[in-house]
Structure 1
């Protein structure tokens, strides 16, 4: 626009100030849109279209008299096309046609301001004005159609890429499971059959076999949910904390069984872990157990944690436990779980070990 104004000689001297003001305003608006990376909101689009309309009308004032009837380029010709195209990109065909129609509707007024009365135009001049107006509408329709097609192509490409990624991931998982997990499980099956055929199986051999089974279960889980869980801010993985417990209770072998990460608020996670620790401490002190199991089940509508042992068990009577001063289960376990809205069930099972059930909301 500036080049056309500078070298085209298509600005009347009496209206040069208006032409300069129009160019400066358009430059400032365009620079702000570009440098600020402004999102094409409804307000921005409306201002952009209003500026385009103002430029068309201003051109009628500062161009030479009846300039619109000549074939000379217009100083303000390019920007309205860009504004219509912007509407078409954001609002698709309907928006482009609407913006193009508005600019086209202003052309007769620009003709009048340029002292080219619409009523006195010849057939060819009327046809030229109509063609100029239609060009704005056609630009809006064409750009809107192309933008819609590009969106559809992009969505189709995204779906194809996603499907290809899923297929590739499925092939990778199948190969890993076949080459790693299934091979180990076949070996564990042979070991189990060998132990069964011997008849005199030692507890340590069974524990070693179960440890290998757990390792394969964890490997399979890691394949399905790869990578370490990143808990959202303010939350933590209950399973991750419980898996740190084995090895902390002397000769008591602690096994943690969970189907996957269980994410809970940090405060609730801390209370549950503390309650489980207290339950295991009671096992060490009173149960005469060699093994304890901590099982986590994430179910609808909540989570359940079981702490079981293979010790001597006991008959749990709450009043008797309080009278004897054995407050670990009542205060450190039940009180903690009830503080976070959960419940505790204690099953002593004399001679068959004990079971503590923590139900969490």
Structure 2
């Protein structure tokens, strides 16, 4: 568990509470007229003021020891309060000398150690109240039922305060972390947009002019291959510019995985067409990518294709992945050695509660459609 708050606001509010409580202590000491041991009261005020000043200006490194000392100071103030006031004063409604200062220690523990820390500090401080009563010459065995309830209620108020502050600090820190992540995401998006604009204004325009110039030269297959390579680089740059920021943990971009897969198949041009990044659970995206890899390998080995189209589109609650080639095709119902791979493809897709459809005819290529419901991560 972290010892330091990520957001400074709660601990600053606790510090403000300390100074207000210390000011109340000074006011009560000067105007109440109830303090019967002024020397002890002056020492307590001086020690509390020095402690508060040190907490304000010091760079606290060992937070655990500081908070333990803070709770000890709060306990001491409870006991000193009973000692410097007239006997049985704690059973009256006179203004409290210590005021809310002990509560600041409980609140600080709640800020740093959250709900459990705040409740634990409040419980420890609550257990100090019988000692404060004893210092005020109050016989605990002679307390009435209502007086006992009052003492217990005072202790429970510390516990409630610590728990409330701890829960609030945890929520504030969660909001702070979320705002930080959103800010970082916005900064990455802004930087990405700047790079995209630069690519569009400079690199893509230059590549487009170069490709057009090469095609106008009519230099034969070699130059055509160079122009085709430039076109693929243009497509890759445009995909880079349209990519979204990194998905959350446990989720990957299907578009990114398929784009990486397509780069491995240089023998046959593969055109990837998607309607977005398609963030999916890691297992599901891995299974789909593996199925597509087997299909592309099958095309390279058996289809004699010149072009392959890989399309990923949403279809209601499903994702449709289509691999289509312009190869030799095969008669309906024929199961060649290459198309035997469809069994392993179907096995992967069926694990995700999906379906596979194959359409082909001789001389007109082959189309394989994978349909997978979103969210079925069985990988």
Which of 84, 90, 111 is the matching residue for 2:106? Answer: 84
1:67 aligns with 2:93: no
| Secondary structure of residue in 2 paired with 1:38 | coil
- RMSD (Å), alpha carbons: 2.7
- Map 1:166-245; keep pairs closer than 5 Å: 166-195=188-217, 197=219
Gaps of 5+ in 1: 199-212, 225-361
Structure 1 counterpart of 2:80, from 58, 61, 71: 58
Does 1:44 pair with 2:62?
Answer: no
Distance 2:121 2:61 in 1: 18
Inter-partner Cα distance in structure 1 for 2:140 and 2:40: 24
Change (3 A) 1:40 1:135: farther
2: distance between equivalents of 1:43 and 1:171? Answer: 48
Q: 1:32 aligns with which of 50, 54, 61?
A: 54
- Determine if contact 1:111/1:118 at 8 Å carries over to the other structure: yes
Partner of 1:146: 168
Equivalent runs, 1:16-27 vs 2, <5 Å:
16-27=38-49
- Could you give the per-residue CA deviations for residues 314-357 of structure 1, whole angstroms, max 9, x where no partner exists? xxxxxxxxxxxxxxxxxxxxxxxxxxxxxxxxxxxxxxxxxxxx
Tell me the CA shift for residue 40 of structure 1: 6.0
Residue of 80, 85, 98 corresponding to 2:120:
98
Q: C-alpha distance in 2, partners of 1:8/1:184? A: 85
Is this contact kept in 2: 1:10–1:74, CA < 8 A? no
Q: Measure, in 2, the Cα distance between the counterparts of 1:2 and 1:90.
A: 28
Contact 1:10 1:75 (C-alpha < 8 Å) held by counterparts: no
Q: Pick from 139, 142, 164 the counterpart of residue 117 of structure 1.
A: 139
**Equivalences, count:** 205
- TM-fit CA distance, 1:49: 0.9
Q: Is the 8 A contact 1:66 1:115 kept in 2?
A: yes
Tell me the distance in 2 between the aligned counterparts of 1:147 and 1:163: 24
Change in CA separation of 1:152 and 1:76 when aligned onto 2, cut-off 3 Å: same
The CA distance in 2 between the partners of 1:84 and 1:16, in whole Å, is 27
| CA distance in structure 1 between the partners assigned to 2:215 and 2:109 by the alignment | 74
Query: Among residues 13, 19, 31, which one is paired with 1:7 in the alignment?
Result: 31
1:256 corresponds to? none
In structure 1, the partner of 2:178 is: 156
Tell me the TM-score normalised to structure 1 length: 0.52
User: TM-score, length-normalised on structure 2?
Assistant: 0.50
User: Residue 187 of structure 1: CA displacement?
Assistant: 1.2
Measured in 2, the distance between the counterparts of 1:62 and 1:177 equals 77
Per-residue deviation, residues 31-81 of structure 1 (Å, max 9, x unmatched): 111112424611111111111111111111101111110111211132110
List structure 1 runs of 4+ shifted beyond 6 angstroms: none
In 2: Cα distance, 1:122 partner to 1:151 partner:
44
- Partner Cα separation in structure 1 for residue 212 and residue 177 of structure 2: 50
Query: Mind listing any 5+ residue stretches in structure 2 that lack a counterpart?
Result: 1-24, 221-229, 242-379
Offset of residue 196 of structure 1: 5.5
Highest Rg: 1 or 2? 1
Q: 1:194 Cα shift?
A: 4.5
Aligned to 1:234: none
Check whether the contact 1:40–1:90 (CA below 8 A) recurs between aligned residues: no
Corresponding residue of 1:237:
none
Q: CA deviation at 1:180?
A: 1.8
CA–CA distance in structure 2, aligned partners of residues 10 and 161 of structure 1 = 55
